[in-house]
Amino acid sequence: MDSPDLLGFDTFAITTPIRVEQVEQVEILDAQGQLVASHAFAQGDTAGGSGLAINTIAEDHFSVRFPRIQADDSLLKIKFRASVLAFSTEFRGQASLSSEPGSFQNVTSGNSANLGDEDQPTRSGTTVLSPSIIRSERLIDALELTPNPFTPNGDGINDQVAITYNILALTKAGAVAVRLYDLSGRLVHTLQQTALSNGRYALSWDGRTADGHLVPPGVYLLGITVAGDQGDDLRAHPLSVAY
């Protein structure tokens, strides 16, 4: 790697437990702390001025592009919002040069030793600790039912309900069950019964019972249970079926 063309990097990727909520800002400063380039990205915005851009947003990572950084002691700052699903989450970073696919450099904790005046030693690592996840004893989060009510009458509009949820704080895969009940507590359908790890999950329901009959209109309860090391968690949410 003696070629001067291979110096520096122009792409940086960061792993996230689930899809990043927003990449907010990318900033490059030189060794003297002078701003070289900066852009604040609005939600949905991917290209900024000065060659700064959001390259990729995937379920488990995102990457940003910028003018090639070659000078020693340059500082690249990437501000983003992401959910953490475990007490300890490592955000791994990888720098690369787009003209050299396959060549990359991993970031190790402590690389980002000086983040400026507001820096704290605890913020210079790549691992985020979230004590609140343990305190809350919560294993299920961000349960969403869309649309609710839904109308499984076969007209192609809102015929299915999408069910999404996060599983968090598990140290190993736990038994997860997603079930539908009527308001008298009778089981209507078991939608999912499997072992899952931390992550964001999605499934759908077409308004039918296990033996294929459309349920009568009304309010049902969707219940999710997760078996964790320290006990179980249960979330339930009303779900309306209309025709």
In the chain, % helix, strand, coil (3-state, to 5) comes to 5, 50, 45
3-state DSSP of 175-239? EEEEEEEECCCCEEEEEEEEEECCEEEEEEECCECCCCCECCCEEEEEEEEEEECCEEEEEEEEE
Q: How near is the Cβ of 114 to Ca ion at its closest, in Å?
A: 57
- Residue 153 within binding range of Ca ion, rule CB under 5 A: yes
Stretch that binds Ca ion, among 35-43, 124-132, 156-164, 178-186 (CB under 5 A): 156-164
Closer residue to Ca ion in complex, CB, 151/198 = 151
Q: Does residue 155 touch Ca ion according to CB under 5 A?
A: yes
Token pair listed for 209: 């019972």
Residues 6+ apart with CB under 8 A from 81: 20, 21, 22, 24
Among the listed residues 1, 35, 42, 157, the single contact to Ca ion using CB under 5 A? 157
Residue with Cβ nearer Ca ion (17 or 207):
207
Least Cβ distance, residue 222 to Ca ion (angstroms) = 18
Q: Which of 151, 166, 198, 225 lies at the binding interface for Ca ion (CB under 5 A)? A: 151
* Residue choice 24, 100, 159, 182 for contact with Ca ion (CB under 5 A): 159
Q: Which is nearer to Ca ion, 99 or 209 (CB)?
A: 209
Residue closest to 146 by CA, chosen among 129, 172, 165, 127: 165
Q: Give residues in contact with Ca ion (CB under 5 A).
A: 151, 153, 155, 157-159
